[in-house]
Amino acid sequence: MRKIPLQWAAFALIALSVLLTGCSDKLQWYVVSPATETGRANLLFMLGGLKYTLLLSITAIVISIIIGLLVALPGISKNPFARGFNRVYVEVVRAVPLLVLILWVYYGLPIMLGIAINVFWAGVVALALSDSAFEAEIFRAGIQSVDRGQIEASDSLGLGYIDRMRYIVLPQALRRVLPPLGNQLVYMLKMSSLVSVIGMEELTRRANELVTAEYRPLETYTILILEYLVLILVVSAGVRWLERRLEVKDGR
């Protein structure tokens, strides 16, 4: 994952503060100021969507990783039909805009399958399906990057396909795909904001509701940007820490 220097984050915050200070005569920060009772209540209301953003994103990324791995395995098969399934799945799913997929899952899937689906699971299904195509390509590239000699050595030991993937290929591939997986988690956190269109009470939906109540969009969305900025920086730092831990275990 590309490392974001702290000085650039600090520069962005300074630039934002200068821009907002220049418009201070037009802004009414009391609506989101922790120094006022109204501001504190509004901030708590907006932060209440954080747990839904995290829960939605983490659930979707876990499911998408599982689906992506299952889709990636046929892509490295010698069977042309298996490789064809991988290619068709990846190309079709990647071609569908995420917002359209969210609306289709929420409004169309219940009609097709005759089931009831709430906004949370509609969001999870749409996000997981959309991301699984990217995960499949990440895993396929990671698996194919494992040295051919490793696979030949496992064959000489008499390991079957499952044992070879479990003990030889996947442990090495997972270390190599961790940075792009981290990028996908960041992508998932940002794209989860689109689920607000079907009523999911995550960060963006809470901000939209506050704008409707207070009629102060600039102040509210500025706080929303800062919420996502802090969240993404924390997640990125956690991914980099995990990468360093894996490098230490590998003796690098």
Note the pLDDT tens digit of each residue in 142-169: 888 887 777 777 777 777 777 777 777 7
Predicted confidence band of residue 2 (pLDDT cuts 50, 70, 90):
very low
Is pLDDT of 212 > 80? yes
Cα separation of 1 and 180, whole Å?
A: 6
In the chain, what are the helix, strand and coil shares in percent, each to the nearest 5?
A: 85, 0, 15
Query: From the CA atom positions of the chain, what is the Rg in Å?
Result: 22
Q: What's the CA gap between 124 and 207, in Å, rounded?
A: 21
Q: Quote the pTM value.
A: 0.83
What is the per-residue pLDDT across 12-27, written as a single tens digit (0 to 9) for each?
A: 554 555 454 545 556 7
Distance of CA 101 to the CA centre of its chain: 16
Read off the pLDDT of each residue in 86-107 and give the average, rounded to a whole number: 95
Single-letter residue type at 44: L
Q: How many CA atoms lie within 13 A of 92 on its CB side?
A: 8
Query: Domains in the chain and their CATH numbers?
Result: 6-49+207-239 (no CATH), 53-200 (1.10.3720.10)
pLDDT at position 101: 96
Asked if 122 and 101 count as a contact pair (C-beta separation under 8 A), the reply is no
Query: Where residue 1 falls among pLDDT bands split at 50, 70, 90?
Result: very low
